[in-house]
Structures are given as structure tokens and as C-alpha cells.
Structure 1
Amino acid sequence: MRFFTISTSPNSRAASLIHRIQRQLFSSKNASDSKSLYRKISQLGDPNVSVTPVLDGWVNGGNHVDKQELQRIVEELRFYKRFKHALEVSLWMTNERRFTMSFYDTAVRLKLIFKVFGLERAEDYFNKIPENKRSFSVYLALLNCYMLVKSVDKAEAIMQKARDLGYASKPIWYNIMMNLYYRVGDMKKIHDLLTEMEAKGIPHDPYTQSICLNACAWASDSIGMDKIISTMESDSRAVPHWKTYVSAIQGYLTMGLSDRALPLLTKLEGQLKSPRDKTFVFTILLNLYADIGNKDELYRLWNEFKLSNRIGNKVYLSMIRALVKFNDVEGAERIFGEWESSGLEIDFRVPNVLIDSYCADGLLKKAEDLITKGISGGGSPLMMTWVLLAGGYLRKNQVPKSVEALKKAVSICPPKFENQLTTCLDFLETRAYLEKEEEFTKLIKREGISLMSIFDKLSDFIKDGQLQSVQECQV
């Protein structure tokens, strides 16, 4: 698999132009073809199913595909966080179609490699790029990777390199660095960057405002948030961005000031007019109304939206999650029934929400039936499907069934979880967990594991001495 293919004479301005127009132009025949090809790819809801056969079949069927269409498809897949499929299309674009890569394509591929394979592979890819081919967009992509993994030293080195090359003249560079400092809790360096921006005449954009709002929320500075929102809304030159409103609402909710968040929710609903971000904003609104505890508004918004908009898997998933937050399982089951009858491709992330709820309540038969029904309908359970079921079995002290479910999870899990899941299996299948309770407790609380309910529950069982060995349970 070749990760690096680049044109010998790329034009960065042309690449930037492609990036701006590919989301907007759909009037030509090629744009229409692109929609059709993307529709075929979008139907593959399971990230473990390759899109390459779809691409090959499209071309072998006599259909035309050009570079701009493939770039647009990559953008769409990235927008919906389908990074593995986006990387496949990117690789197919250069490896199979022999299209050369622009600076922009290279930066996108670096981001996708990071999302799919992690930082080390992304750095390896970056190091293979010739120095004279490392445009501002490529450096920016690497800086963003370092921000996401909270690598302060490496990020600061790239930022200084960008300053030296004259790239760091736009708000985005400072936004990424401020986001990093916010993540590690270094508010002083955020202030230093804001001072640097002011000294260089670099304006604040909506993302800068969002980061400042997040910093105020972190410091429980509601007055500071009020001032930022007031300044933002008094600027007649631009309508406040929806992401800024989301940051403000979440900040107020974090501080327990729901009365200040409610008016902003109404303003955020006004952002649903944007056709590009409409679905994304809607799913965020569902989550926010659930967080604020207003089920009536949640149903109102849902009923209004579905009258005039196509409801996809992601929207159903968000609504079911929101209802489960209210412990409205009956309502969640009703929406799930609508999803089942919608004819959408089976995406196990949707039933996973109910499976999680059923397992938490000890309703294992209902969870098992849901999995069986999904499989019979052509769906493929995800790793988390089996992890959730394993957690449910452990709550009922059904260790052998938990082991079998974990084995299924291991067989399809991403590499980053394989060691953890395998180690849990080793402990369950032997008496090791009875002899090494302290070691096991530390193991399951490592970053990336404690987020899964099964491992936390496993720890509780071990501490309480409730688990028996697999051999004893099978007697």
C-alpha cells in the first residue's frame, strides 16, 4: 500500500481552489455522477467493509470518474468521520487511477493516516515528503495531529517552523495551538498567543472565539463568557457561527447556568437554515436538549425536523441516545422501530445504544434478540456490540458467555484495543485474576479501556470477589 504519491509540479493555489469549489458545484454531469458514486459508497455503513470493490465496479461498468469527483467524495467521507473509507478512496485515486497529488491532497492523506493508523504512521508519512513539497497545509496537518495527541513540545516546534517560513499569518495556526494549551490546562500560553495575534494584527475568527469561551468555562468565568458573546453578537460584519454558540451553551451548562444556555439554543436552531451543516447542527441540538433535561423540546425539534428533512442513521442514532439519557427506553424503542422500517442500511451503532441500555438493566434476552435480528437483516455487529454484551453477562456473573462475547470482540477489534481485550480474556479464562487483583485493576483503568463499561464492571466484580473461574462456572 503506497501512502505517498505526489505531483512533481503541484500548484497550491489550484489545489486550494479545488478545495473551495468542490463542495459547491453540482450542476454539471460530472457532479451528478459523483453524487451517484458517493451514494453507493455511503451505503456501506460498516467501516470494516472495503469501498475498493465499489470503486472498481463503478469504473468497470463504464462510468467516468475524475480527480475532482474523488476529492469531493473524500471530503464527504471525512465530514461524516468515515476516515478509513476516505483513506481508501484517496489511495485508490493515486494508486489505481494514477492521478497526481497536490499539496492539499497530501495534507488530507496525512490527516487520514493519523486517524486510521495513529501518530507514528503519520510522522513516517510526513518524513517521506520532500522538504520542498511540504506546503503550509502539510505542516498545518501535522500540527493538528500533535494537538490531538497533546504533544506540546512537537507542536511548538512545528509552530515555530511555521513562523520561520512565514506560514503562521492566519488565525488557524493560533487556534490549533490554543486548543492544545486548553487541552493541557495552560491558560497562560493561551493568553500569550492572543497577545501575539493582536500584536501581528491577526483577527479572531469563530474558532478563536470558541476556544476563548471554552477557556472561560474551564475557569468558571461566566462574566468573561458573557462579554465574548456580547462582542460576537454586536459585530454587524458577520453572523455568529454555530460552533461558537455550541461552545457557549456547553460552557454555561458546565457551570450549571442552564438559564443562560436556553436563549442560545433558540439562536442555534436558527442555524439549521444552512444546507451543508443542517444535519450536524440538528444532532448537536438533540444532544444539548438532552443535556439540559428538556424532553418536550427534544420531541418538538425531532417532529419538526423529520417533516421536511431526510433522516439518516446518524440522526436516528443521536435521537435514540438522547432519549436513553432521559431513561425514556420506551421512546427510544419507538424511534428505533421507525429506523428499522426506514429501509436504511443496517448500522450496528444504532442498535448498540439500546443493547447498552438493556445490558445495564439486566435485560440480556432483549439485547441478544436485537443482535440476532440485526444479523438476520444483513448487519454486522461491531466490536463494541460484543463488548457491551460481555459486560451484560458479567453483571449476571455469566463468565463463560462473557468470554465467548469477548472472543468475538477480539476477532474484529481495531489494533489499538486488541491487546487490552486479549489480556482481559486471559484473566477471565484462567485463575490469574484471582491472584493478581491489584495488577488487573490497574490494567483495566488504563486510558482507552476505562471508557468501556465492561472493564469498569470487571474491576468491581474482582474487588468484590464475586467472579468465579471459568472452570468453576462450567461445572
Structure 2
Amino acid sequence: MWSLRRAAYSHLRSQGCRVGTLRACYTKVVVRSDYVENAVGIAGPIELVSGVCLLPKRFYHSPSSHVYFHPGSQSLSSQAGAKSSEDEEDLEDGFSELETPDSMDSIEESNRVEEVREEFVSGPDLSDVDSEASLNELDLSDAEAGATDEESKKKRSPMDLFWAIMNASHVESGLEQWVAEGNHLGRSELSFLMLTFRKRKMYGRALQVSEWLEKNKQLTFEERDYASRLDLIAKVRGLQKAEQYIGKIPESFRGEIIYRTLLASCVVALNVKKAEEVFQKMRDQDFPITTFACNQLILLYKRFDKKKIADVLLLMEKENVKPTLFTYRLLIDTKGQSNDITGMEQVLETMEAEGIKPDIFTQYLLSKYYIRGGLNEKAESVLKEMEGFSLKANRGACRNLLPLYAALGKADDVSRVWKACESKPQLEECAAAIEAWGKLGKIEEAEAVFEKMCKTWKKLPTKNYTALLRVYADHKLLSKGKDLAKRMADSGCHIGPLTWDGLVKLYVEAGDVEKADSILQKAAQQGSIKPLFNSYMVIMDQYAKRGDVHNTEKMFHRLKQAGYVGRLRQYQALLQAYINANAPAYGFRDRMKSDNIFPNRALEAQLAQVDAFKKTAISDLLD
């Protein structure tokens, strides 16, 4: 653990910050009572912003004030939980925007690389790695109430219940009809049903099922069932409603699982302040400090305040909480994002010394950052490890190998890996192959993979269409992209945020920003599903490059209307518009302060540039 903390501090030392021994308190504590949704606190001078670390039992937070704490230069704020639509089958924005790039030039590249692959980083912690705490699905056991008189109940395919509800006019009527027909409705069927809804991001329907079960006493609720309901409420109705629901849970079931579920919901909502308050409440109630809870904080601080990761690691060491594979994966990803290859390798060495072998996701991260750092030989070495002795025996690695070999420019290896999948391809492998061929500029090969999918499956998911749509966008093939979009509509494919994002990029790359803007505006008005954050940013960046302050401000306002506030990227883009227009941005610091935003080094440099445009008494006379 010491080596992990040392690696976590290494980037602070390299920036000339004095770290040394962590102390429980510091000379100044900055307290803010102006709680603003979605705010992300960033850099201030080290002597001006400091506070307390995670070692003391209390965070010293109160509902009415926000205490910024850290033995460094960053401070925190919060983001209110965003609502999810009932049937949101496309990917939500989630953690697609990883970190604030150091310069405007890197924004587009960072966005392009991370928006597709962040699922490998954040996803497993909320599903695969710690599924017992985060998904909180109904127990797979079928021994509870609701499975009475099992001998007389019909046993049907697990998907039959799903389709019975989907084909009904309402969730309740579908469930009532299912029971009336004498079908079995036990925990195993319900668990499969809830998991299916979650995978399709149909959180609203899953919540209606949970409410119906309790209302009709079809299930004896346990703590995990209440936790599952809590998670769904947070996704559908927001964190405030989720917190209110905790008060309705019987006190005997209001245990650690409930609160770490709420903690995970705060992290998904990117609400730093609320996550810290929930974590502190868990400590106040003497719940054990678990690896899951610490991983949630690391996941959040990885995005907003990397310096505080060291505090979490110190707390884990003090409480004898052992890091998991996912902990190490988060740390490797953090070091890689900071271009600290040495630190990344130190984390890997520590992980292996603890007897934890890197999995495919971890190897994917290592190779990705080696490629980004120009260390192609090291990347190839990791890729060979991912392949193992045989691609046939290690088929699960193929979907990750394809884009990585493409990033290295190795068309022969992409072809070799695809041949291992081609006879019996999986949808995810096809999407990865399309992406890979697109990176290599081999449009015909990408189209061949798509056509193979169309022949193999009767109906393709949206993401497989959008994979090819992105290829067309990257290569400015507007006509082909429009034809593909029409083909999607004709096939009855779900048109949502991923499709809108692909179309926006298609027109932006073709130079028709106004058309992209029009598409996004119409998409935003269609329903409760909001477009991706990056869809707005692609257009906003283009307006900023033109120095079009009016339209950049318009996109900035629309981002806020969509609930995307408190992210440095949109402020960077807006400032860049003023810079390119050679126009002063009057009152910009006050605007940021009102939104609880604090500039990092890159944003400070931009602010200095716009300050130079301000008129003085002399310059006004000379003009």
C-alpha cells in the first residue's frame, strides 16, 4: 500500500508541491455555502485552498456549508443527480468525458478516444466487480415468498416475462396478466427480469416492477431489495428522491448496503459533495470501510481531484482495507491519463507483487497508454500477452485487440484477429472490427463487416450502426452516412443519443456545422432522453474555432438547459471563442465563481489571454 501511495504522490512532487506527511488539519479551511448543482472545483494557489484529509473520522461537512479540503491546490463541489429516462436504451453520457484536457487542442482527441472505451474502466465496478453492492439485484434464490405453491406454477423461459411486460400497455397490467395465467413469479425470474431491464437501461420499468412487487406483496423485501429500489430511484428520479426513500425503509434494513448503494449513485451522478457526505455518514454509523466504498471515491476523484486519491489510499492502509483488481485498474488509468508511464508501471508492479494478475481490461488500459505515449514495443508486448497461446482459446480478448492493433497501424494483425472471429462473430467483435478498419482507413473492409452483421442478425442494435456511422464521419463520407441513417430508420432501429452523436459528427466533419446544430436541437426536443455531452461539445468547439462568440454562448446555454453544468470543458471552449474573436470576456471569473467553478492551469492561461483584450483608458483613446 505504501508503494501505491508513493506512486499517487509522485505527480505532486513533479509539480513542485510539498507533500510530506499528511496532517489531520491545515492552516486554512475554505467554507462555501453557495451550493450549486454540477460544480467541479479545480485549482487555486496551494496556500489559499486547503483543508482536512480523509484520515479523521469526520469530514467536517454540514448540509448548509461546503468545506473544501485537501493538502494541495484543488477543491471540490458537487453535481445534482440527473434523471434517467424510462427506456433509455442508448448509452448515457456517464463517464464518457474523462478528464479536463490540458489544452483546447487535446479536447477533441480526448473525447474521441475515451467516449467509447470508458465502459472498460467505470463499468465493471458498478456491475461485474462489485455487483453484489452496486446492482443490488433481487437474490437469485427462489425460496422466498412469492414462489408459493410452486408445483402448480408454470415454468417458462425467463425472457417470456420480459416480453409479456414489454407487450403490455403498462408494467402493472403485464405483471398481473402473468400471474393470472398461473405463471411462476419467483426470485429467479424477477432477478433475470430486473437484470434485463438494467442492461437495456430501462430503469423506469424496472422501478415500476419493484414498486408493484412491494405493493402487491409478491415478494418479502430484504435489504438488497430495498437497495435495488434505491438505486433505481436515484437513476430515474434523482438523488434527492433516493435520499427521501431511505427514510421509508424499515430501520432494521437500513444498513451498510443501503448507504453504499447511495454512495455509488452519487458517484454515477458525479455529485462529489453528496458522495463525501454519504461516505461520512457511513463512518458516523460505524459501518465498516469497504474496498467498494473506497473504490467509489477513487473513481470520483480520478475525474475531479486526482490529488485526493492519495488520501483514500492512506485511509485504506489505516483501516487495513485491501485493494482489489478494480482499485489497481483505477490507479493505472489515473496514471495513464496523466501521461505518467513510470507511475503506471509502479502500480502494475505493486499489483503483481500482491499476487493480482492483470485482466484483459487492465491490459487494455496499459497498451492504450503505451500507444498514446509512443511506446509501441511495450504496447505490442502487452497485446501478445492478451492474445495468449491462441486467439481461439482466448476469444474474449479479440474485441479489445482489434482497435488497439489498428491504433498501432497494424492492418495485418487486425485482419488476423478478425479472421479468428469471422466464422462465428459476436456483435461486440463486429463493432470493434468496424472501428478498427475505420481507423486504418479501410472503408470497404468496415462495410464488409457491417454487411456480414446484417446477414447474420435480423435486427442490429443501435451501437453497431453507429460504429459504421462514426467511420463515415471520420472520413467525411457524408452521402454514405446519410444513407446509413435512412437505413437505420427503415430497419426500425432505435434512434437515440448514440445515433444523434454520430449524425452530429458526420455533419461537423463535412463542414456543415449549422446542419449538425439543427439536428442536435431537434433531437433535444424529441423527448426525455437527452443528447450526449460530447454531441454539444463537438459543435461548440467548432463555433469556438471560428471565434463565433454568439453561437458558442448559445451552445453553452443549451448545455446548461440539458443539465450539463459545472464541467471545465464547456468553459474552456467558451473562453477559446473569445480568444479567437480577440474579444474580452467581461465578468468571466464572476460567472465561473457563481457556478462554483475554479480554473485549472490551462483555464488560467486562457483567462490571462482574454484579460489582455480588455480596453484601458489609453487603448480606448488610441483606438
TM-score by length of 2: 0.55
Cα distance in 1 between the residues matched to 2:390 and 2:235 = 28
Map 1:308-347 to 2 at 5 A.
Answer: 311-312=426-427, 314-347=428-461
Instruction: Tell me, yes or no, if structure 1 residue 283 matches structure 2 residue 399.
Output: yes
Deviation digits for residues 320-374 of structure 1, max 9, x if unmatched? 2333233322121111101111124332332233334445655444333323333
Greater RCO, CA 8 A, separation 6+: 2
How far is 1:144 from its partner?
Answer: 1.4
- The structure-2 alpha-carbon separation of the partners of 1:163 and 1:351, relative to structure 1 and needing over 3 Å to count, comes to same
The answer (yes or no) to whether the contact 1:143–1:158 under 8 Å persists in 2 is yes
- The structure-2 alpha-carbon separation of the partners of 1:129 and 1:409, relative to structure 1 and needing over 3 Å to count, comes to same
Cα distance in 1 between the residues matched to 2:136 and 2:535 = 43
What residue number does 2:540 align with?
none
The answer (yes or no) to whether the contact 2:507–2:516 under 8 Å persists in 1 is yes
What residue number does 1:305 align with?
421
Map 1:235-254 to 2 at 5 A.
Answer: 235-236=354-355, 239-254=357-372
Q: Which runs of 5+ in 1 are unaligned?
A: 1-11, 23-27, 423-433, 451-455, 465-475
What residue number does 2:386 align with?
268
The answer (yes or no) to whether the contact 1:355–1:367 under 8 Å persists in 2 is yes
Cα distance in 2 between the residues matched to 1:272 and 1:77 = 35
- Return the match for 1:374 from 488, 491, 501: 488
What residue number does 1:141 align with?
261
Deviation digits for residues 256-277 of structure 1, max 9, x if unmatched? 33332332233334599999x9
What residue number does 2:221 align with?
101
Amino acid at match of 1:322: A
Amino acid at match of 2:254: R
How far is 1:38 from its partner?
Answer: 7.4
Instruction: Tell me, yes or no, if structure 1 residue 37 matches structure 2 residue 160.
Output: yes
Instruction: Tell me, yes or no, if structure 1 residue 351 matches structure 2 residue 465.
Output: yes
The answer (yes or no) to whether the contact 2:533–2:559 under 8 Å persists in 1 is no
Instruction: Tell me, yes or no, if structure 1 residue 255 matches structure 2 residue 255.
Output: no
What residue number does 2:553 align with?
439
Deviation digits for residues 179-200 of structure 1, max 9, x if unmatched? 222221332x322222222222
Cα distance in 2 between the residues matched to 1:21 and 1:267 = 38
Instruction: Tell me, yes or no, if structure 1 residue 74 matches structure 2 residue 189.
Output: no
The answer (yes or no) to whether the contact 2:403–2:432 under 8 Å persists in 1 is yes
What residue number does 2:274 align with?
154
What residue number does 1:471 align with?
none
RMSD of aligned Cα (Å): 4.9
What residue number does 2:340 align with?
221
What residue number does 1:177 align with?
297
Cα distance in 2 between the residues matched to 1:16 and 1:383 = 27
Deviation digits for residues 432-453 of structure 1, max 9, x if unmatched? xx99446325436768599xxx
The answer (yes or no) to whether the contact 1:323–1:329 under 8 Å persists in 2 is yes
Q: Which runs of 5+ in 2 are unaligned?
A: 1-131, 143-149, 537-547, 568-572, 582-623
Instruction: Tell me, yes or no, if structure 1 residue 207 matches structure 2 residue 326.
Output: yes
Deviation digits for residues 203-257 of structure 1, max 9, x if unmatched? 1211221222233324443333323323433445x54444433343344344333
- The structure-2 alpha-carbon separation of the partners of 1:317 and 1:77, relative to structure 1 and needing over 3 Å to count, comes to farther
- Secondary structure at 2:288's aligned position in 1? coil
How far is 1:392 from its partner?
Answer: 5.0
Map 1:11-22 to 2 at 5 A.
Answer: 19=139
Query: What count of residue pairs does the alignment treat as equivalent?
Result: 420
Cα distance in 2 between the residues matched to 1:296 and 1:58 = 53
- Secondary structure at 1:64's aligned position in 2? coil
TM-score by length of 1: 0.69
- Secondary structure at 1:71's aligned position in 2? helix
Amino acid at match of 2:484: L
Cα distance in 2 between the residues matched to 1:420 and 1:321 = 18
What residue number does 2:315 align with?
196
Cα distance in 2 between the residues matched to 1:390 and 1:214 = 29
The answer (yes or no) to whether the contact 1:387–1:405 under 8 Å persists in 2 is no
Cα distance in 2 between the residues matched to 1:110 and 1:271 = 45
